[in-house]
Amino acid sequence: MSAVVTRFAPSPTGLLHAGNYRTAVFAYLFAKHYDGSFILRIEDTDRERSKPEYEANILEALAWLTLAADKQYRQSEHRARHRALLEKLIADGAAYVSKEIPKNPGDKEEVIRFKNPKGAVTFADVIRGEITMGVSDLGDFIIARSLDEPIFHFAVVVDDADEHVTHVIRGEDHISNTPRQILIQRALGFVEPIYGHLPLILCNDRTKLSKRKGAKALTEYRDLGILPEAMLNYLAFLGWNPGDEREYLSQDELVKDFDLLRVHKGSAIFDETKLFSVNQHWMRTLSDAEFIMRGQLVAQDEEALRKAIPLLKERAHTFGEAREMLSGELGCLFMEPTITRSKLVEKEPAAAQQAGMTKSALEGLLEPIKALSEGVTAKAVKEVVMPLADAEETKGKGGRGGVLWPLRYALSGQERSPDPFTLIAILGPKESISRIQKAIAILE
């Protein structure tokens, strides 16, 4: 296939959600698979509802996804062309000015209607096969509110033809629009593009994904800390797969493998949990330095931050979560915690509530931890500490919890934190001993 041209034609009348951008992803991947061109056309002919901030958000989201347009247009710039072709249709007898009785305030008294030849329209859909739809019931449909106000059906036909669009890739909710547009194409003598109508994207409750249902703008996911490669990967798999077991594909791999023939006919479910899982995969592929840079992670102790990256890769699904962890449950890595006497003993079994037993357990850890070297691994710490905890279990005192809980709390000052072996490995033996000694002093 040669000279493939696709387009993404959003209206800047609101913030677009993931379902809208899935169309852009498919159009881009298809064009690039065939070394073709991808066009962005801002359809801003709705003068009242089109806003510059929405257009800016569209450009921002596409740039974030790295879907670079080969050409970019604004539909409002084509008004002279639209007017000339409306006049041509009227002159040819294919359309006419219709006197109307306004039904609502603000309605036009004259509109331009297309003279419907009636019958049926058949077109080929790459995804759904041949489709035949009757057009007689459409009547003579409106194509413009005036010579300077074409509606969607007319403007999109003219723009697609002028921009040499070969493949119109869009949602299946546009199938009903296609017969009208084909009739207009034929009247203007335009070549009919190839259509591919994508399955809808649904919420988990199987209703259509929409802004009214709480769907987020794509830039909101960016701000949550989703990586663009993760979002691109996830959107590409909404209604398509590469035909094998692979789940994680880079942009280059998606371009190489994408084809409309593998697009599903059934609807796809937008699942945030799955998106976050895909994002975690891509976060884990980053080097520690990239992880810090792309996550915009900062901490007072850079060395402790570097040591904490494996923990963040294990636990965080977004960079937003990673930043929350650094200021929350991992905050103890960067500043000394505040601990209380009651918390040191509250997790012990009833038989071991005496502060003296906790104090003794912590004191028993001092020398073994002092013997550890700086740079010790969590595994090595566990090999030293666990036998002491097991010994308490054997003695029938506080059990392992009588050692491990006060140790973890003394190090972190929190009920939720990494295990004490990991904490000691990141903090180092010297800082760990200092914190344990302060806990012992509280219990005296």
Distance of alpha carbon 39 from alpha carbon 54, whole angstroms: 18
Distances (CA, A) of 199 to 205, 224, 264, 321, 379: 16, 27, 7, 32, 49
Asked if 307 and 344 count as a contact pair (C-beta separation under 8 A), the reply is no
Which residues, in sequence order, are CB contacts of 303 under 8 Å at separation 6+?
A: none
Label residue 145 exposed, middle or buried (CB < 10 Å: 0-12, 13-18, 19+).
middle
| Other beta carbons less than 10 A from residue 289's beta carbon | 10
CA end-to-end span of the chain, whole Å?
Answer: 81
Q: Angle between the 429-443 and 355-370 helix axes, to the nearest 10 degrees? A: 160
Which residues, in sequence order, are CB contacts of 131 under 8 Å at separation 6+?
A: 122, 123, 124, 125, 175, 178
Distance of alpha carbon 333 from alpha carbon 192, whole angstroms: 64
Distances (CA, A) of 423 to 311, 412, 419: 10, 8, 6
Q: Is 382 annotated as a binding residue?
A: no
Distance of alpha carbon 254 from alpha carbon 248, whole angstroms: 9
Residues within the annotated binding site? 211
Residues within the annotated binding site for ATP? 211
